[in-house]
Amino acid sequence: MELQLINIVWVFLAAVLVMFMQCGFAVLEAGLTRQKNTNNVLMKNIMDFCIGSIIFLVLGFGFMFGKSVGGFIGGSGFIDPTSLQLDQFESLSPTVFIFFQTVFCGTAATIVSGAMAERTKFAGYLIYTFVISLIIYPTSGHWIWGGGWLAEMGFVDFAGSTAVHSVGGWAALMGSITLGPRIGKYDDNGVSKAIPGHSIMMATTGAFILWFCWFGFNPGSSLEAAGYVGHIAMTTNLAACAGALGAMFFTWIRYGKPDISMTLNGILAGLVAITAGCHIVSLYGSIAIGLVSGVLVVWGCETLDQKLHVDDPVGAVGVHCLNGMWGTLAVGLFACATPAVTDGPLGLFYGGGFKLLGIQILGIVAVGVWVSITSLIMFRAIRATIGLRVSPSEELEGLDFGEHGSEAYPDFAKSSLD
């Protein structure tokens, strides 16, 4: 009983840290977008968590962790998920585990906010949040964490490089494609023009908050207060550091100057990439994974923007989709014996052959196809009904006024005292 109470406290505190990631995303995204859209960005991040928490309790948790229907989706535990008979309910408590999973659902949903920033109707965005929390995220989550078909095959995704981040990243990509670019993003010749955010200080603060909270995201996924969480914390931190260095040096070489916004995305890319295998790769393996992620996020964001004309104001697709895939793939390369997993599957670089690598690739493709198709249908349905994009005049004025009738930075010089 005493050990169970310690585990409950540990997982609860980790869940609180993950919940606070909503603040990190909100501040990061607000800083990387323009001042006139700040309230809109903040409101979307608030509503991601509020709507997601309720619908995930009522239906989403049952779809994710209910009794498996053909390995595809859960089919029980609706309305009252505490009625399920889960092993996690025995080792922790029903409500602590449900809360822990709820904050993960909120993270997947809020990834999309930044990619669709500065041009999305608020009402349309709320429908997206409802749908991803209801069915898109829980279904693929069931495959991986709910005893579904990928779990049965031995797919490894400890804390959600694919289950959380790629899901949000693929949805972000489909949303950005459906919306189209912001006004003025590309000239008549299709050349991309930079639209700087209004506060690199906010963006940096948001990145540090996310980095801090990731020590709840990854170590907390142990679901127990065990000694090996130190190993998970170390791999998580090292990958973030390596991601920052990889992005910084790559931009320095490529552009002649080290870029701060891309360095911030390098931190997040390293964190996303290590999330799948943080428990099963070595410390030096995590550095290698992070370095690759730092380069990949710069290349990915540049390619999406300049070659494919996908307008992603904050680089969410490069960070979460591309590096969610890379991190999941990297498990098939770098998996080895660690303090957390002493007798697990081995990656290709450690003599395990191609078996685990093949399973990881299958999972990446399956989740990508599922999320891309369902989210594309959803976004196009929203566009065809209530509309997904604001009017050009509203976009130019800023969504703070058009969608919310307020502004984040009122002009105090024009006060009523004047």
Under the phi-then-psi rule, with left for phi > 0, alpha for psi from -120 to 50, and beta for the rest, what region is 183?
beta
pLDDT beyond 50 at 293: yes
DSSP state of 182: P
Structure-token pair, residue 322:
């591309």
For residue 127, which of 410, 381, 415 has the smallest C-alpha distance? 381
pTM of the model: 0.95
Q: How confident is the model at residue 416 (pLDDT cuts 50, 70, 90)?
A: very low
> Each residue of 208-239: b (16+ CB within 10 Å) or e?
ebbbebbbbbbbbbbbebeebbebbebbbbbb
Q: Where are the alpha helices (DSSP H) in 56-121?
A: 61-65, 87-91, 94-115
% of the chain residues with pLDDT over 70: 98
Q: How confident is the model at residue 309 (pLDDT cuts 50, 70, 90)?
A: very high
Tell me how crowded residue 115 is: count the other CB atoms within 10 A of its CB.
31
pLDDT for the residue 1: 65
DSSP codes of every residue in 149-175: HHHHHT---SS-IIIIIIHHHHHHHHH
For residue 301, which of 250, 242, 373, 237 has the smallest C-alpha distance? 250
CA distance 47 to 25: 13
Mean pLDDT of 238-252: 98
Dihedrals φ, ψ of 233, to 5°? -65, -40
pLDDT for the residue 417: 36
pLDDT (tens digit per residue) in 256-267: 999 999 999 999
pLDDT (tens digit per residue) in 195-224: 999 999 999 999 999 999 999 999 999 999
Structure-token pair, residue 30:
């607000």
CA distance 25 to 41: 10
Residue 103 one-letter amino acid: V
